Structure 1
Amino acid sequence: MTQSPVPDERRPPNPGPKAAARNRAALVAAAREVYAEHGLDAPLSAIARRAQVGQGVLYRHFPDRAALSAAVLEENVCQVEEAAAAEEAGLAGVLGVLTWHMAESAAFIGLLHVDAESGDSGILPYALVLSGRVERALRRHLPDGHRLEAAGDLMLAVDMVSGAVTGPSREERERRALAAWRLLGVEVGPVRPFEA
């Protein structure tokens, strides 16, 4: 015999397909936070809990860790591209957005550096495409004669700064990133996410 739940124990009604986009956005935001706090090896169950969804919902949107990582990286790159597309954007402003994402997503920087050396990650080809998109966005604002104008120098500088983005807190990672840009002689605008 099945017992009916007591009214206080009833679950809220299932919002159905309308919740899919909201759940996906919550999972990406949660992944960014959990990865920043605990690194890429953090359990996916922690991400589901932070997003306040079940693990089944996580796996419906992202079949594996690489797919979830790619979604967060894609969101980062889209914001850099949006910042570069803004009419008033200059190189310093776009670098400020890029630096915010570096400090916010330090765990992904580690992933990209490690996988580029080992060459065994399914996300590596996608990461290379994203890197090219970041370079194009930055180059749109690189003035003639800029110290990073030579082929390869711009992304080498980004790699050098990303290598310096370490530390236990977001503030420490941002401080180190800004110090690295300063040592390279590159001006960076306010470090913040892009807001349309």
Structure 2
Amino acid sequence: MSTASRVNRGRAAAAQNRTAILAAARAVFAEHGRTASMTLIAQTAGVGQGSLYRHFPTRSQLIHAVYEGNIAELEALAQQDVSTVDDILEALYHQLTLSAAFIAVLDSADTSDRHLASIRGRLRNLLSDKLSDRRQRGRLREEITTDDVYITLGMLAALLHQVLPHQRRGTAEHAWGLLLNALYR
């Protein structure tokens, strides 16, 4: 009688498991929001719950790791000499549209979470750096400030927070078009 079971690959699989968990969390949070089941995330990642909790003992730590990945992507894009504010806004638009979880980063009402505050600060700095360089402003109107861009993104995030997941993409496209008309020449 043979019993099929998963082979425990031990420490060698730790980095792969972490990567799989983060990818699964990003996908699951995008579809179900920050309250998504940790069991669903583990199943989607193809790992056991023990592995999930070994890497991320709390939901909050997992959410923060997903946020960290999002902001790191934006920072990497911003570091490219050829990137402009246009590129950053496009990337942010896609992150907000695809991820119900990332919307919370722009929710300024939550001031108790230091990690979120840090990510908000990094986002503001990234936008400010791009806006301070004339070449990197892209087509953005001269009078538009970092605060204006941040408010615009916050308006989009607040709107997307109110709609059902299946309505998010269409609503985002329409709202984003309206907002871009206000920001660009």
TM-score (norm 2): 0.82
CA contact (8 A) 2:78 2:126 kept: yes
Alignment of 1:21-32 (within 5 A): 21-32=15-26
| 71-80 or 23-32, which deviates more | 23-32
Alignment of 1:1-196 (within 5 A): 6-7=1-2, 9-110=3-104, 113=107, 116-117=108-109, 124-142=113-131, 143=133, 146-149=142-145, 152-165=147-160, 166-169=163-166, 171-172=169-170, 174-176=172-174, 178-186=176-184
Deviation string 1:86-135 (CA, Å, 9 cap, x unpaired) is: 1110110111111111112123314763xx53655xxx211111011111
- Cα separation, 2, equivalents of 1:176 and 1:111: 22
1:24 maps to a residue whose letter is: R
Structure 2 unmatched runs, 5+: 135-140
> Which of 1 and 2 has higher RCO (CA within 8 Å, sep 6+)?
1
Deviation string 1:44-85 (CA, Å, 9 cap, x unpaired) is: 101001101111111001111100000000000000001100
Note closer, same or farther for the CA distance 1:118–1:156 as it changes in structure 2 (3 Å cut).
closer
Q: RMSD of the alignment, in Å? A: 2.4
**Larger Rg computed on CA atoms:** 1
Deviation string 1:159-185 (CA, Å, 9 cap, x unpaired) is: 122223344236335414523532432
Offset, 1:41 = 1.6
CA contact (8 A) 2:39 2:49 kept: yes
Structure 1 unmatched runs, 5+: 1-5, 188-196
Offset, 1:153 = 2.6
- The aligned length equals 175
Offset, 1:26 = 0.9
- Cα separation, 1, equivalents of 2:171 and 2:71: 19
Runs of 4+ in 1 over 3 A off after TM superposition: 116-120
Deviation string 1:6-26 (CA, Å, 9 cap, x unpaired) is: 34x333432221211111111
- Cα separation, 1, equivalents of 2:119 and 2:10: 33
Note closer, same or farther for the CA distance 1:177–1:33 as it changes in structure 2 (3 Å cut).
farther
Identity %: 32
Note closer, same or farther for the CA distance 1:19–1:42 as it changes in structure 2 (3 Å cut).
same
- Cα separation, 2, equivalents of 1:78 and 1:37: 21
- Cα separation, 2, equivalents of 1:16 and 1:156: 46
1:163 maps to a residue whose letter is: A
Note closer, same or farther for the CA distance 1:141–1:21 as it changes in structure 2 (3 Å cut).
same
